[in-house]
Chains A and B, each alone.
Chain A
Amino acid sequence: MPALARRPAMSTRREVLYFAVRNRKLVIGLSVVLAFVVIAVVGPFLARYSPNTIGPDVRMAPSAAHWLGTTSFGEDVFSQFVYGLQNTFVVGLLGGGIAASAGMVVGFVSGYRGGWIDEILNMITNVFLVIPTFAVLLIIAAYLTVRGVVVEAVFIGLTSWPWAARAIRAQTFSLGGREFIGIARLSGLSSWRIIFTEIAPNMASYLFMTFILLFGGAILIAATLDFIGLGPTTGGSLGLMMNRAVLWSALQFGMWWWFIPPGVAIMGVVGGLYVMNVGLDEVFNPRLRAM
């Protein structure tokens, strides 16, 4: 690509912002996610019932009294929904955050140090990449008698880092060969200083996108675990709503309001995150920008 004569200075940050607000995918994805955040935050103030209170009106379709109807036990679906949605965000942020941190530590060290440290970390990464995460979580959760949302998030985070570590390793590897890293090395800075002051900032956008994918992934894994009956034993969740809907024959009774909302929310949040990620990729990566 021919270099252009300098145009009137437009800083990189402003350029990114320019593309960001004009990127349809980013704007749509972010709006959907934010809409659900608003529901999760405001919802509890609107809910008129506590999520697990058994009421007299069972199997009611959505109405003015129960916006999303009631369950087979007369619980208010809307209340369960907003609290479940909150937990979804907690699991996603915490699980995704832990996975991203673990992936960064392993990836940075592996990619920057190389040599036998890299060999060992790479082998560990590959082993955990092949082990079906979900099966491990299944066993762990089954033996844990008391499970909270936080514990669930921690376990999800600790099992979903490998692909992130691998991707970050590859990025670190290619950055490590650049001139400015070599200069930093020569100047005698410690490895961690170089990683955090030179390497990480240079791939900040990439790290952020990795986190978003892990965020969405954690939500999906949590929903699956909850659905199978291994979710938090304390507090509700969207996956648990679907679990109970299946267990108590919502399908047979045609109680769509019981299982549609939790799925829509998960699909909306995760889909929003994914679409947002593609938008971010286009914003950060000039090659993908459509003129």
Chain B
Amino acid sequence: MSLLVDDLHVHYRTLSGDVQAVDGVSFGIADGEIMGLAGESGCGKSTLGNSLIALTGRMRYVAGTVELDGEELPIGVPDKMVPYRFRSVSLIPQYAMSALNPTRKIGKLTTELLRSRHVDPRAVLPEMVRRLELVQLSSDILDRYPIELSGGMKQRTVMVLSTLLNPSLLIADEITSALDVSTQKAVAEMLVEFRTRGFVKSMIVITHDLSILYQIADTIMIMYAGMMAERASANTIVAAPRHPYTKMLIASLPETGVRFDESRLAGIQGRPPSLLGPPRGCRFRERCPVAYERCAEVPPVIEVAPGHLVACWRAG
């Protein structure tokens, strides 16, 4: 196992109190695995992904352990996380279009970043040029400012930069949402290529675009209201889901372009519960068509088939 997350709790501080954005999530990712992480916005998927590399201002680590290649990641202690970032865990952020400092040439930015992490740029730059070519970027861009690049070019530059030190784990957060459909597909395929070539060992791809995940992910984890609902191979999730939420999610997708977001989720009645003081029991209960008395208790995660995990009383 490349990554092992055990009972992770990460809260998100707001005025009205702590939002339990990630509330006891456990999972593992094998070497070379691409795991898709999907769910409605606000389900905690972004918080989960980001907490593995850098807690942002309002995120608070509460409990749980994260192990990467057999070593525990000190995700609750920002200073201690620094050595792991970029080298072991890396991120392609949601905001890749604006992730590069506008007043530095890309080459210079890279050099300065590498030096600051005590990596000799001369040792890495030739490889960077090769990888830029792999994503169809000329090495000229090293001599350009970010504003001279198109959105897609910036996206690819960030992909190459983030994975330059061959991290064990790459978190790709909503990387395709700002791109048009054909570029989305190309970027997704590049991610797979990066894995194949061993630039990254394993990957978590966060998105609300299931069609992308179906194309590239080995496994998919569906989150609902801060907890894991179901996790299985991509095929199983799409073809034979067991959790009622996953089922409704898949069913509510339009035939073409397997993509969902809040407005298109008309198929599922109601809204996710507030995570400020979430209800006891199964959090999907209120919207679930097959809920019964038992659902007043929290459903345990059970392995219904090898590698297929479901948190639902009805699944057993």
Chain A positions within 8 Å of B, measured between CB atoms, are 1-8, 10, 15, 18, 291
Point out the residue from B50, B56, B276 that lies within 8 Å of A7, measured CB to CB. Answer: B276
User: Given the complex, which residues of B lie within 8 Å of A1, measured CB to CB?
Assistant: 56
Contact in complex: B12, A4 (CB < 8 Å): yes
Contact in complex: B42, A10 (CB < 8 Å): no
Contact in complex: A18, B15 (CB < 8 Å): yes
7 pairs of A and B residues whose beta carbons are closest in the complex: A2-B46, A5-B42, A3-B41, A5-B275, A3-B42, A2-B47, A5-B272
Contact in complex: A6, B46 (CB < 8 Å): no
B108 within 8 A of A: no
Q: How far is the CA of A18 from the CA of B14 in the complex (A)?
A: 13
Given contacts A2-B46, A2-B47, A291-B58, A8 and B41 within 8 Å (CB-CB)? no
A-B Cβ contacts below 8 A, count:
47
User: Given the complex, which residues of B lie within 8 Å of A15, measured CB to CB?
Assistant: 15
User: Given the complex, which residues of B lie within 8 Å of A7, measured CB to CB?
Assistant: 14, 16, 19, 274, 276
Apart from A2-B47, A4-B12, A291-B15, 12 more pairs, CB < 8 Å: A2-B21, A4-B42, A4-B275, A5-B42, A5-B43, A5-B275, A6-B272, A7-B14, A8-B16, A10-B15, A291-B13, A291-B58
Cβ distance B254 to chain A, nearest Cβ, rounded Å? 22
Cβ distance B111 to chain A, nearest Cβ, rounded Å? 30
Query: 23 pairs across A/B with beta carbons < 8 Å?
Result: A1-B56, A2-B21, A3-B42, A4-B12, A4-B14, A4-B21, A4-B42, A5-B43, A5-B225, A5-B272, A5-B274, A6-B42, A6-B272, A6-B274, A7-B274, A7-B276, A8-B16, A8-B274, A8-B276, A10-B15, A10-B16, A291-B13, A291-B15
Q: How far is the CA of A1 from the CA of B14 in the complex (A)?
A: 13
Q: Which of the listed residues B16, B45, B271 has the most CB atoms from chain A within 10 Å of its own CB?
A: B16
Contact in complex: A2, B271 (CB < 8 Å): no
Q: How far is the CA of A2 from the CA of B59 in the complex (A)?
A: 10
B76 within 8 A of A: no
Cβ distance B43 to chain A, nearest Cβ, rounded Å? 8
User: Given the complex, which residues of B lie within 8 Å of A4, measured CB to CB?
Assistant: 12, 14, 19, 21, 42, 275
Q: Which residue of B lies closest to A290 (CB)?
A: B57
Cβ distance A291 to chain B, nearest Cβ, rounded Å? 6
Contact in complex: B13, A5 (CB < 8 Å): no
Q: How far is the CA of A2 from the CA of B13 in the complex (A)?
A: 12
Cβ distance A211 to chain B, nearest Cβ, rounded Å? 28
B44 within 8 A of A: yes
